[in-house]
Amino acid sequence: MKSTEKRLPSFREVSNTIQRVDGWLTEHEARYLYSLAQYGPGQGAIVEIGSWKGKSTILLAAGSKSAGREKVHAVDHHKGGPDQAGLGYQDVNTEIDFRKNIKSAGIEDQVIPLVMTSTRAAQGWSGPIRLLWIDGDHSYEAVKTDLLLWEPHVVEGGVIAFHDTYAWEGPRRVVEEYLLRSNRFSILGFVDSITAVKKTQRRSPWDKIRKKIILLIRYLYILGRQHILPGEIRKWSKSCLRVMASAR
């Protein structure tokens, strides 16, 4: 007798699906985001700030669903912004494509769209969050506002992850000023342009040593990106950061 239970898609299948979805994620970033949703610590909702057409939403929802975990609250007004305008997207409305893509991916039941600004969504939010993914407006003030509004809802042991934390000044500055210099967060990993930290007051001596090592390698990677160090150093440090990244 055949089972009527619906088989959950593997990461490889999800990866093939998102190839058809407009967005900006490397393969390594996609796998890491999926893993954070699947294995990440803490209990609570997954909140995504900035969905665009659903590429990262699909990864988060599929990863969480594969482990029988929480739904994704996808926050986006779907009208684009200065970041997209600078890339040639003018007068956009991505909501139709977003809904079509999450339905085609088979994870529509795992996503709760919040079609509004991040500020408005935060004003009505009261529940615990175990994974906060910030990839909305990349201006410094907007990224800082997203973090300050949503971080209080992230549970102890929960994860905060940012996209585009090298090439874009806003995410880079917020990560460096509010997360990497703080003792309230331990580093989970740097995977390509993703920075992920865990909110925790308890850090072991090894955590402190690991942070120093991983920040040193990150610094070498930044110098490589700026062509101050040879390209081989950039490639080596980037690979090291990927290997050292943890989803838990």
Q: Annotated catalytic sites, by residue?
A: 138
Instruction: Please report which helix (H) or strand (E) contains residue 213, including its range.
Output: helix 205-225
3-state secondary structure of 159: strand
Among candidate residues 111, 72, 115, the one with its CA nearest the CA of residue 94: 115
Give strand ranges (E) for 58-200.
72-75, 111-114, 129-134, 154-162, 185-191, 194-199
Pairing of strands 45-49, 194-199: unpaired
**C-alpha span between 42 and 199 (Å, rounded):** 10
* Cα–Cα separations (whole angstroms), residue 234 to 218, 225, 228, 231, 238: 9, 6, 10, 5, 6
Among candidate residues 110, 42, 114, the one with its CA nearest the CA of residue 72: 110
DSSP code string of 84-110: HHHTT--S---HHHHHHHHHHTT-GGG
Ordered strands of the 111-114 beta sheet: 111-114, 72-75, 45-49, 129-134, 154-162, 194-199, 185-191
